[in-house]
Structure formats: structure tokens, C-alpha cells
A = this chain, B = another copy of it.
């Protein structure tokens, strides 16, 4: 799926920043308005909003504006997608190294060690 690949692009890119990962961690404890989320960080609102929009277009969070306050909450589905990709790759790796170990054990050639 091309879509899935693009989704992984945006999700991993969103996660590749400590500020955004901190926002995720914070939102895991419950939804919060933008101002409150931005408080711990030493940057202006505009910069922080860019981080939020990266998170939102990646699908990791959803936001809703009611009155003048925008509330953010997490959407764990994309988090799971990223985790799935990683665990899939690691499973392949695990299987391959297991087979490799078996192979080495079965032949065990005295390899040169320079």
C-alpha cells in the first residue's frame, strides 16, 4: 500500500522530535488545550502550533475547537501502525538470525579470522 507507506513517513517523522514525543506522552494522560500543552516548552505559540499540526496531519492526535480553546487528544491507531511495522521487521530479523544460527550450527565452517 502506498498510503500505508506515506502514513509511516509522516508518523515516524512526527516522532523524530523530542518536543512532539513529549506532547504525545503528555496526551497519554488525558486531553488538554493548546496553551496548557505548550507551557513546558520554551518556544512561542506559532512554533508550537507547527509541531501540533505535524502531529495532527500524521494522525497521531486529533484536535477540536470549542469556543476559543482548541482541545487535543491522542489517536492511538497510528501509534499502533508504527509499532506494528517495527515489530514485523524485528520478527523477520529474529527469524532470520534463528535460521542463521541453525545453519551455522549445522555446518560450522572454521572461518578465517584476520
* B-facing residues in A45-92 (Cβ within 8 Å): 74, 76, 79-80, 82-83, 85-87, 89-90, 92
Q: How many residues of A contact B (CB 8 A)?
A: 31
Residues on B with beta carbons closer than 8 Å to the beta carbon of A87: 83, 87
Residues on B with beta carbons closer than 8 Å to the beta carbon of A29: 92, 96
Tell whether A18 is near chain B: CB-to-CB under 8 Å. Answer: yes
| Interface flags, A1-26, vs B, CB<8A=1, else 0 | 00001001110110111100100110
Enumerate 16 A-B pairs (CB-CB under 8 Å) in ascending A order. A5-B18, A5-B21, A12-B13, A12-B15, A24-B89, A25-B89, A25-B92, A28-B92, A76-B90, A76-B93, A79-B89, A79-B93, A80-B90, A82-B86, A83-B86, A87-B87
